[in-house]
Amino acid sequence: MAKEKKAKKNHLKEFFSDFKKFITKGNIVDLAVAVVIGGAFNKIVSSLVAQIITPIISLATGNVNFVDLKWVLREAVLAEDGAVKVAEIAIGYGQFLQYIIDFLIIGLTVFLMVKLFTHFKKKLDFNANMCEEVQEKFNKGEELNEFEKRWYKRFKKRNPDLAPKTLEEQAAAAAAAAPAPVKEPEPTATEKLLKEILEEIKSQKEVK
């Protein structure tokens, strides 16, 4: 009985341990973040379409609501009292157009975001490679070419802390980081008097 309880306890502990590893994996966390951001982004796009773009299009098309657009295949048949006897048959293409507009806007927005991210990533990779090349030339004492000089001047102006360091700058930084020499304190009056007495006793012994 005790062995069964211990086995169940170990099994439960192993289950929660595996679950913890699963939910803390990088891919799972990234997916959760993407879902949350995607939900918020969907609200932004829906608001953009419904409250900004659709009214402008409706104004341009004579105040027509896209959702109400339809192609009637057969008119509704009404009874004498006004009740619908035979329902209308129509193709509601307005909602379909609305979904197409939503899709195009979402696609365009995602495309622009990816392009922007790719542009910044390429720029970061380029600057990182240039930093390595310029720093290596500085360490070897080699001269930069004209392109490297222009890049270095521009990059150092924008990112002075991240820019490659010349040999002079490295020496200055090392000197600034080195601990200052400890200055011995000035002897007190009592210490001076004791020193004079010791020197006087020493001189008297040498005379004898």
- Give residue-wise pLDDT tens across range 147-184: 999 999 999 999 888 889 988 888 888 877 767 666 67
Average pLDDT, the chain: 79
Residue ranges of domains in the chain: 9-63
User: Which pLDDT score is estimated for 133?
Assistant: 92
Separation CA 85–CA 68 (nearest Å) = 22
46 and 102 in contact (C-beta within 8 Å)?
yes
User: Which pLDDT score is estimated for 111?
Assistant: 86
User: Which pLDDT score is estimated for 151?
Assistant: 92
Of 3 and 62, which is predicted with more confidence?
62
72 and 89 in contact (C-beta within 8 Å)?
yes
For the whole model, what pTM was predicted? 0.50
- Give residue-wise pLDDT tens across range 37-90: 878 877 887 787 778 877 787 777 776 677 778 887 888 777 777 777 777 788
Q: How many CA atoms lie within 13 A of 186 on its CB side?
A: 2
Question: pLDDT > 90: what percent of the chain?
Answer: 13
Give strand pairing partners of 89.
Answer: 74
134 and 148 in contact (C-beta within 8 Å)?
yes
